[in-house]
Structure 1
Amino acid sequence: MGLLLTAAYVSLAAWLWLTLAQGMFWRTDVRLPGRTDPAHWPSVAIVVPARDEARVLPHSLPSLIAQDYPGAAEIFLVDDGSTDGTADLARRLAGEQPGLPLTIVSPGEPEPGWTGKLWALRHGIGQARAARPVEPDYLLLTDADIAHEPDSLRELVAAATSADLDLVSQMARLRVVSVWERLVVPAFVYFFAQLYPFRRVNRPGARTTAAAGGCVLLRTATAVRAGVPDSIRQAVIDDVSLARAVRRSGGRIWLGLAERVDSVRPYPALGDLWRMVSRSAYTQLRHQPLLLAGAVAGLTVVYLVPPVALAAGLLVPRPALAWAGGLAWLLMAGTYLPMLRYYRQSALLAPLLPFTALLYLLMTVDSAVLHHRGRGAAWKGRTYARPTDA
């Protein structure tokens, strides 16, 4: 019981520190910065890597074609070896409505040392830069499952030009419909913000650096200066790697939550969400067993000890144990509430965060097991067993 009491005090101290000193990660008010329309709207190339995306493309591609953008813009969809008719569907969708022009390119299988998405982005960016006598001022790198409101591109460009930003990235609002999505998805964004507090990311020259790969507006000249995507060609966690490359090159970045950008990809079952997390969790830990052990210990003390301590303290009874566990659990649930509100979910899910954290702990361990079996970072028929650390 003494060991549990010590763990409860450590957990409470951790939650006090996280709440007050971890960049206010739990706040969800980091949205696009103040912006005004530029006098001249820069040109933009929208690059969409797509591999077997026929299921979601009807919900996302039309939203890009329909962008209400005052400047020159066009879409480059990179069909990355799809076998489900993604390219033909994209052509049909483009023919059904007026809007931005669409070009479809097919790069073939990735060369050794490249992950599939970055290989696709390389060819899409190359095509976009070569398509016109003058290359585009900005690149919008957006996933095939991301739907944009009609003014999304305009707002992104206005934010970038107003604040002289080289990279503007929005964490798309993920789909939350099924029971498992409600339980796991808001926590996914909550944990991401805990690792990479948006306010810290957005400070010029900060060491904390990240982006959200589903929606990234990138200045073309900065991409060239940073050597992306070639300089990060092996990265599995490509969005964080992209942001680091841009910041290393002297670029200014911004990351926040989206209001008008949504992911339409469904994750109806736990297995779907499990695969999404486990494919890259061990990469986040640099494939180091010691870091894995530390992560498991940290998740256990910070997230799992509080409810156990509260229950044990009430049963024994040990008031000090119950108070330490209860206060830690209360801080945990309280910091989770803003994210649940952002996702329009019930506050009753907040006390369940320890259970969700246990799921993420198991997903992380499974990610390590898959890596050591040579099946790490598997995605849509491709496996990257030993990718470069993100």
Structure 2
Amino acid sequence: MSALAWIAVGSLAAWGWLLLGQGFFWRTDQRLPRRESPAQWPDVAIVVPARDEAEVLPVSLPSLLAQDYPGRAEIVLVDDGSSDGTGELARALAERHGGLPLRVVSPGEPEPGWTGKLWALKHGIALARAREPEYLLLTDADIAHQPDSLCELVAAARTNGLDLVSQMARLRVASGWERLVVPAFVYFFSQLYPFRWVNKPGARTAAAAGGCVLLRTEAAERAGVPESIRQAVIDDVSLARAVQRTGGRIWLGLAAGSETGAPPDGVRGRVDSVRPYPRLADLWRMVSRSAYAQLLHSPLLLAGTVVGLALVYLAPPVALCAGVFTHDAAAAWAGGLAWVVMAGTYLPMLRYYRQPPLLAPLLPFTALLYLLMTVDSAVQHYRGRGAAWKGRTYARPEAAPDR
């Protein structure tokens, strides 16, 4: 066989392993586990780090204020040095909508060695702990919750004895670039951290989705968070690892929703991100700011990632097209089969986001974009720009403290 055919066969073999041996990452059936209402609902503090979030707060904050929770709950919004009036807007929204009590605090600029979000969480959690809540709901300022979201999370944690319950919020998919890139973002994340592996008792794989994390306060204290992960840029994965490392049970899954029909506004426990990423540049910044941190700032891991992405995602269509053009039947057949398997594994995620199946064959192009974003992340790191986000730059961030 030709060299191209051998590459195509290698890609097909890789997809056979990914299909069956990577925790069935491509399935989208990991939703909140069995839930029973507790006899007495525990106290909960909702901590929201917010920096320049005036654009999305009018949609997200009222959904938290309106939580229909039978126990005692309060919201602590940490205004992390905003310049757009985030704190004032939050107070005005609370006065207008009522609901759960809201406190707004401003901790000032982060101390050296802290990322901005974790600095905000440190102060929000410290303030919340004064009232000794059993659980902390850590949720981003761009996340909107159905009125029963908090009940569903607490019931899942209590029923299954979980110390951390995290839902991957349904990200916004409206613009053309969002349709192309966003479902793939969740697809690639679940490929790196298969949800089944995360949720298996005694598993070594740990991950969380930072937009929605219900955390038992005792587990947070035992893990020493957020102090123990204060430099982490990929703070959600680092948080899950810290909790798991200290004996906590964790769970991660997709937010509730319907894969068909109209948007499921009434679906129980639904959690949505309302932040828009209308342009490719917006999505590019979202991915590239932390991609190289995920690779531990290792040139060797970067090179391996580039080669791996090229072999797994780019080789199949190249082999098929080149094989047809050069009459290399082996290359064409192996490349075509690998492309079919790849597209087939992407279909469940497209269904989850209610996107047309015709986007599945475009996954190689999307993977090429992610490859370029990852390389750009490394370039920015070596230029001293590191992980830049909302006016702050972290030149040498850490992906996780326990690597």
**CA displacement at 1:251 relative to structure 2:** 0.2
The question of 1:215 aligning with 2:225 is answered no
Secondary structure of the 1:173 match is coil
Secondary structure of the 1:383 match is strand
1:82-128, Cα deviation, whole Å (9 max, x unpaired): 00000010011000112100000000000000000000000000000
**CA displacement at 1:5 relative to structure 2:** 1.3
The question of 1:198 aligning with 2:208 is answered no
Query: Which residue number corresponds to residue 117 of structure 1?
Result: 117
Query: Which residue number corresponds to residue 172 of structure 2?
Result: 175
Single out whichever of 342-351 and 307-316 deviates more from structure 2: 307-316
Match of 2:392 among 382, 386, 390: 382
CA contact under 8 A between 2:5 and 2:328: conserved in structure 1? Answer: no
Aligned partners of 1:367 and 1:155: how far apart in 2? Answer: 37
**CA displacement at 1:177 relative to structure 2:** 0.2
Match of 1:363 among 347, 355, 373: 373
Amino acid at match of 2:252: L
Match of 1:299 among 297, 306, 309: 309
The question of 1:252 aligning with 2:249 is answered yes
Amino acid at match of 1:160: A
Aligned partners of 2:170 and 2:97: how far apart in 1? Answer: 25
CA contact under 8 A between 2:235 and 2:399: conserved in structure 1? Answer: no
Query: Which residue number corresponds to residue 271 of structure 1?
Result: 281
**CA displacement at 1:202 relative to structure 2:** 0.4
Aligned partners of 1:29 and 1:389: how far apart in 2? Answer: 28
Aligned partners of 1:360 and 1:376: how far apart in 2? Answer: 17
1:1-390 residue pairs with structure 2 within 5 A? Answer: 2-130=2-130, 132=131, 135-259=132-256, 260-390=270-400
**CA displacement at 1:2 relative to structure 2:** 2.2
Secondary structure of the 2:103 match is strand
Aligned partners of 1:98 and 1:113: how far apart in 2? Answer: 37
Secondary structure of the 1:92 match is helix
**CA displacement at 1:3 relative to structure 2:** 2.1
Secondary structure of the 2:169 match is strand
Aligned partners of 1:94 and 1:82: how far apart in 2? Answer: 18
Aligned partners of 2:308 and 2:167: how far apart in 1? Answer: 28
Aligned partners of 1:175 and 1:3: how far apart in 2? Answer: 42
Aligned partners of 2:205 and 2:398: how far apart in 1? Answer: 19
Q: Report the aligned-residue RMSD.
A: 0.7
Aligned partners of 1:40 and 1:302: how far apart in 2? Answer: 50
Aligned partners of 1:71 and 1:386: how far apart in 2? Answer: 42
Aligned partners of 2:134 and 2:296: how far apart in 1? Answer: 34
Secondary structure of the 2:289 match is helix
When normalised by structure 2's length, the TM-score is: 0.95
Single out whichever of 311-320 and 247-256 deviates more from structure 2: 311-320
Amino acid at match of 2:20: L
CA contact under 8 A between 2:238 and 2:399: conserved in structure 1? Answer: no
Amino acid at match of 2:312: V
Amino acid at match of 2:215: L
Gaps of 5+ in 1: none
**CA displacement at 1:327 relative to structure 2:** 0.4
Amino acid at match of 1:337: L
When normalised by structure 1's length, the TM-score is: 0.99
**CA displacement at 1:312 relative to structure 2:** 1.0
Runs of 4+ in 1 over 4 A off after TM superposition: none
Secondary structure of the 1:332 match is helix
1:201-244, Cα deviation, whole Å (9 max, x unpaired): 00112111100000000000110000000000000000000000
Amino acid at match of 2:179: R
Q: Percent identity?
A: 79
Aligned partners of 1:114 and 1:219: how far apart in 2? Answer: 23
Aligned partners of 2:341 and 2:387: how far apart in 1? Answer: 34
Aligned partners of 1:50 and 1:98: how far apart in 2? Answer: 20
Aligned partners of 2:398 and 2:338: how far apart in 1? Answer: 36
Aligned partners of 2:100 and 2:3: how far apart in 1? Answer: 63
Amino acid at match of 2:158: T
**CA displacement at 1:149 relative to structure 2:** 0.3
Count of residue correspondences: 387
Aligned partners of 1:314 and 1:300: how far apart in 2? Answer: 20
